[in-house]
Structure 1
């Protein structure tokens, strides 16, 4: 007999554990399970093990609002975050709901039965489960492979080529020459960390990236924790950080020249050289056209200033036996080359979604409130912000799912399906020109031209609509 649950959550990372908490507290009568394809809790924070891996936003907003972050560091390393997620799962008994090595490969909705049939690959073969509501909390990165372009001559390189997504445990970089290809969040994290490990490291970038420095310790948060109880302090710190990051994002959108000037001034202060900033840290695009990179306590700037790390802005002609020859003719010697060339996006975990036997590819779908799909009943997807902490939006999505489930029960409905209005303009889902977004353009769903068919990047507006908005707006219900 096929097992049936009220809700199936896919993914046991930061989002999935948060979803479990909200289901237990807001819908305590619902049966649910969390299906995790890997063998451990943590998602991204369990997968990525490269040196220096850390949060790229403050932990008071990346952490759960129901379990405030209380550690001293406002910017935490990957191990601390992983421990936090696992502690939270154990504290609330969420870990007991997780089924490991359960990879969801397909989900088919039956309107007649008002339920999903979910196909799952396990170590023992394939099995099927059914559920009334399917909640995808698997993020939007491909865990199985990163973006790894093939470089000319790379087979000639006598050293080791590494992708950060699959960092080898046995790699010792001490005393070695390391070239990190890339200038995004992963690269700016790796470079100072490799330098600390004793490597002579060079960041080779094709184009420049906007970088900002924030203190690893938040002195205001430290002071608030001394005068306010834990939950109250967490709430105040969270809103302080939401308003601060939101204000700079809005400044970047409305007054890009001012934002450019502020970031440039900070980089000059960190590097001690306006010439270095002009040459390597002044992008052609405006801040937040691509995601802003964070360096805690200016560690990248400090490494470059100290001479333990170097930055080269150029393009690759070919790999050689001893390193990389650049288009300019310059050669970079290397023992290890790190291809920090980005990640691959995989919306909805690559699950084959169908409704009444008809496939619904993600690129054909339009999002509803940034978390459901038009024409797809009883399915939600958890996607965070690109301009703020992931968890801010993830928690709102989980609370909205619980509100919708409660509404269905209260009115005797069995399904809820967003219905897009006719003639609605369709727009790209994410407001970024970053490479990883552009490469996934043919896979991403789209958003509409007005609420509720938007993927907004504004926590305060989303909080209003997702916690208090009308759950019947744009929605068709069936018994």
Structure 2
């Protein structure tokens, strides 16, 4: 698609053609089918992190088949591997199919980089300066803007001088390029350095191991440590996503979205049970043990160096992002005595000619280096002086001591104090939560800026909260954003929005160690979407009984038709709410007893399994 001539106006421009951007465009068009909408992306194919350019051999989705699709288009079984593994090619094909079914292709402008975004203060319109195919420069304008670039748009590379190295270096993003694969698997490369401890590092090591290369795997001792990699089948019995996609899994996770339920009063709130903290931490310690059992860390010195940083509390505090082990046989290769893989817990001090120097003066011969050092969000398209008002991190020296920053710092300090009163277990948070206020995302519901300067319903962000319920969460965010941009969703005033953004920000910093870099809600996505759908007047509890709601599996299909449901305001009401107040009190008394029996019985079984 070619951009319109300067002077013509789009109703909505979506930046990003990954999961977030596609569902945002589809949802907006479902509500406003006549909208003149454009999707812009810098890649030559859709998919974002799942675009064709980023796919490499043995790349698999962490979610099993049946868990990774939107509610109105199931993923077919073509290309799905044994045990339900979804290869990267199947994910990309699904997104292509999604775009075809909902007629999005004709609205896309690919191979197009957004260089800058500015807002005309007089008209309120947005102007995007874009470059197509790295040559043609032009501008497009729009009434409304959705930023769906997510939090994994730019490679995060360490500050190392590579001039003396004289060997090829890559980011894990580049592993999908044929030229990268040719270099790394070619005869000139024998020994490769991999730097990083996230899931992408495991995958890079696996790729090189299968290519028969010798690997020096370096993980910083002062970072978040290696990811806790859970098997697809925990204890060889059930899928890790069978847990993740049940509400019960989040019962023992303190969060600011559900503060009225029975679970909150029993285990998370200020008047919780006396043994509540012990119950919560025991649940997560045993869960971590189950996740880590297949790794067998104690089998080798390599394995010991891959132990999660916070031991059995790693799945609770999440010092590094959790991952699913999608590399069959990798643990055995890691533990193999005299094998191809050597793990080092060290920093890279410098790169020298054909070598990587780590701590204590150790020099490792190296023919190539892969930086599996994760991603960083790119907000440079917005002028630096506008980012804070837009709800984005703005570590500009000009803003650090400004009156607005000082006011926000005071606001977040009060929020931190209040969140500990609200969720007392967070007072135990590992050190390091005191991040600079300029690094905050100031987004109400993690979707819109809190500032009144941009409260004209012209901009929204989708995919700016990392979680493990991606398709379900993105559909909720897309509908919320569509309702907001359309003027059909009431929001509180600026003060209330600021207080809520400061509150959720304080929670993330205390709750998740890796959430101190980007917004993170690992297992708290159920209560989060409850809030979003609650704002929209939709019941997000889609099951027909309390037991089913708590323990049964949720899939995207449970929310099929939710857009039309919102459009017709056909709110689904839980049956129990129709029985009257006295009946409800009796039910609550029974549920209290059931909840106690279930929780302690569940923990007893886990502890018994652990001791056995």
After TM superposition, the score normalised by the length of structure 2 is 0.60
SS in 2 for 1:461: helix
Indicate the residue corresponding to 1:26 in structure 2: 31
Tell whether the 8 Å contact from 1:108 to 1:117 is kept in structure 2 after alignment: yes
| Larger gyration radius, structure 1 or structure 2 | 2
Alignment check: 8 A CA contact 2:253 2:524 kept? no
DSSP-derived class of the 1:301 partner: helix
Which of 231, 242, 245 matches 1:242? Answer: 245
Query: SS state of the match for residue 85, structure 1?
Result: helix
Contact 1:188 1:293 in 2 (8 A): no
Structure with greater proportional strand content? 1
Give 1:96's aligned residue: 106
| 1:230-269 deviations in Å (ceiling 9; x for gaps) | xxxxxxx988642279449839996446534543565454
Is the helix fraction higher in 1 or 2?
Answer: 2
1:148 aligns with 2:158: yes
Counterpart among 273, 283, 296 of residue 298 in structure 2: 273
Distance change (3 Å), C-alpha of 1:245 and 1:280 = farther
Decide whether the 8 Å contact of 1:104 with 1:351 is kept in 2. no
**Alpha-carbon distance between aligned partners in 2 of 1:339 and 1:70, rounded to the nearest angstrom:** 34
Once the two structures are TM-superposed, the CA of residue 406 in structure 1 deviates from its matched residue by: 4.9
Instruction: State the shift of 1:274 in Å.
Output: 4.9
C-alpha distance in 1 between matches for 2:163 and 2:126: 47
Q: How does 1:112-127 map to 2 (within 5 A)?
A: 113=123, 115-122=125-132, 123-127=135-139
2:259 alignment partner in structure 1: none
1:179 and 1:5 map into 2 onto residues whose CA distance is: 47
Instruction: Using structure 1 for the length normalisation, give the TM-score.
Output: 0.75
Matched, 1:15 2:17: no
Counterpart-to-counterpart distance in 2, 1:369 and 1:51: 37
- Aligned match of 1:191: 205
Residue 114 of structure 1 and its aligned partner are, at CA, apart by: 5.2
Indicate conservation of the 8 Å contact 1:270/1:298, yes or no: no
Supply the distance in 2 between the matched residues of 1:269 and 1:104 (Cα, whole angstroms).
Answer: 44
2:175 is equivalent to residue 163 of structure 1: no
The equivalent residue for 2:392 is: 362
1:178-257 correspondence runs (5 A): 178-207=192-221, 208-215=225-232, 241-243=244-246, 246-247=249-250, 250=253, 255-256=280-281
CA pair 85-317 structure 1, distance change in 2 beyond 3 A:
same
Structure 1, residues 182-230: CA drift from partner, whole Å, max 9, x if none? Answer: 1112111111221112112232212332423323899979xxxxxxxxx
List runs of 5+ in structure 1 lacking aligned partners. 222-236, 447-453, 472-479
Q: What is the correspondence of 1:395-474 to structure 2 with a 5 Å cutoff?
A: 395-408=475-488, 419-421=494-496, 424=499, 426=502, 428=505, 430-431=508-509, 432-434=512-514, 458-469=524-535
Q: Counterpart in 2 of 1:310?
A: 342
Unaligned runs of 5+ in 2: 1-5, 256-267, 269-276, 395-440, 538-612
| In 2, Cα distance between equivalents of 1:247 and 1:337 | 39
1:284–1:373 distance in 2 versus 1, CA, 3 Å: same
Question: Following the alignment from structure 2 to structure 1, what is the Cα–Cα distance between the partners of residues 393 and 29?
Answer: 32
1:350 paired with 2:364, answer no
1:437-464: CA deviation from partner (whole Å, max 9, x where unpaired): 66xx6xx7x9xxxxxxx98963222322
Structure-1 residue corresponding to 2:369: 337
